[in-house]
């Protein structure tokens, strides 16, 4: 049940189910038209929110499903947000400053000096340790007299001048690439598989609603599959592209840019 009183009308799930039945639409047809999995559509109609992904996805699902059924999808998403996302404890009146701990008049605020002193002591200790490590490593640089020696050695290895520098990539497709941030901004409802260097799915064939932006970092390369096509805007390696696929399509993104590759689906990864 919602934390708010919804006696003014039927619940979100009942509204969706009644509208679908009035249109004579079965759940399979609804899945084909919305590109949202049947199990998620049934969960929306049953208000089984635990089956569904994050709240941002739920709001996107409600907008898409509501529009297909001729309902006000934005109103359904807002009703879900107010009913299931906002805190149950009533907040302060509009315009009133939020006070995490109210104090009785005349009482003194709790002292925070203790935690501050402890944190300050830890920071000082870490700085001392780092300084000692820096001095010790500086003494091992040999005749160079600077800290540039190890960096130059690593650079020579990458150029193939060392014995083993050229083998660090292991022959993989991400060799020589730098870690890159990736942003996916769906411009339509799409089914996405996203795989990083580890070959484990970052997005496991999930339906992402329009506007549900996703951010990822730490990987050297990404493979993006759009099952059934769709339109997304992605940013990677300082490059931004709008990808508009009419059918199954795959793309690769890394620090060198974004390019289309042969479709790698339907399995993820």
pLDDT tens, position by position, 38-84: 999 999 999 999 999 889 999 999 999 999 999 999 999 999 999 88
Residue 73 near residue 64 (C-beta atoms within 8 A): yes
- Collect all residues with Cβ–Cβ distance below 8 Å to 165 and sequence separation of at least 6: 154, 156, 157, 158, 159
Q: How many CB atoms lie within 10 A of CB 184?
A: 24
Q: How far is CA 251 from CA 104, 194, 229, 244, 254, in A?
A: 60, 10, 12, 11, 10
- Collect all residues with Cβ–Cβ distance below 8 Å to 37 and sequence separation of at least 6: 31, 207
Q: How many CB atoms lie within 10 A of CB 252?
A: 17
Domain ranges of the chain: 12-85, 180-261
Predicted confidence band at 136 (pLDDT cuts at 50, 70, 90)? low
Radius of gyration of the chain (CA): 27
pLDDT tens, position by position, 206-257: 888 888 888 888 888 889 898 888 999 998 878 899 999 998 999 999 888 8
pLDDT at 4 over 70: no
Residue 240 near residue 223 (C-beta atoms within 8 A): no
- State which H helix or E strand residue 92 sits in: none
Q: What is the pLDDT of residue 182?
A: 86
Q: What is the pLDDT of residue 64?
A: 95
pLDDT at 28 over 60: yes
Q: What is the pLDDT of residue 20?
A: 95
Kindly provide the b/e burial profile for residues 87-122, where b requires at least 16 CB atoms within 10 angstroms of the residue's own CB.
Answer: eeeeeeeeeeeeeeeeeeeeeeeeeeeeeeeeeeee
Name the H helices within the chain. Answer: 12-22, 27-34, 38-46, 55-68, 73-80, 113-138, 148-158
Q: Which tokens belong to 236?
A: 């990677």
pLDDT at 24 over 70: yes
pLDDT tens, position by position, 139-183: 555 444 444 444 443 334 444 444 444 443 333 455 688 898 989
Name the H helices within 113-262. Answer: 113-138, 148-158
- State which H helix or E strand residue 224 sits in: strand 221-227
pLDDT at 131 over 80: no
> Could you name the CATH architecture of 12-85?
Orthogonal Bundle (1.10)
């Amino acid at each position: 049940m919602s934390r708010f009183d919804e006696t003014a009308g039927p619940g979100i799930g009942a509204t969706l189910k009644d509208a679908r039945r009035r249109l004579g639409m079965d759940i399979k047809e609804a899945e084909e038209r919305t590109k949202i999995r049947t199990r998620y559509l049934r969960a929306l109609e049953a208000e089984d929110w635990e089956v569904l992904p994050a709240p941002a996805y739920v709001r996107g699902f409600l907008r898409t499903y509501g529009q297909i059924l001729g309902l006000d999808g934005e109103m359904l998403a807002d009703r879900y947000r107010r009913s299931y996302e906002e805190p149950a404890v009533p907040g302060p009146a509009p315009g009133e400053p939020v006070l995490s701990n109210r104090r009785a008049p005349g009482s003194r605020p709790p002292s925070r000096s203790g935690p501050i002193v402890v944190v300050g002591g830890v920071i000082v200790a870490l700085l001392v340790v780092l300084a000692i490590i820096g001095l010790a490593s500086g003494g091992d640089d040999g005749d160079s007299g600077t800290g540039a020696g190890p960096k130059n050695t690593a650079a020579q290895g990458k150029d193939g001048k060392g014995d083993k520098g050229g083998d660090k990539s292991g022959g993989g497709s991400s060799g020589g690439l730098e870690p890159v941030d990736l942003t996916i901004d769906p411009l339509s409802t799409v089914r996405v598989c996203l795989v990083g260097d580890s070959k484990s799915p970052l997005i496991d064939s999930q339906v992402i609603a329009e506007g549900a932006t996703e951010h990822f970092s730490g990987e050297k390369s990404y493979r993006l599959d759009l099952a059934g096509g769709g339109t997304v805007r992605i940013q990677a390696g300082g490059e931004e592209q709008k990808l508009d696929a009419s059918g199954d399509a795959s793309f690769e993104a890394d620090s060198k840019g974004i390019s289309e590759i042969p479709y790698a689906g339907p399995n993820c990864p």
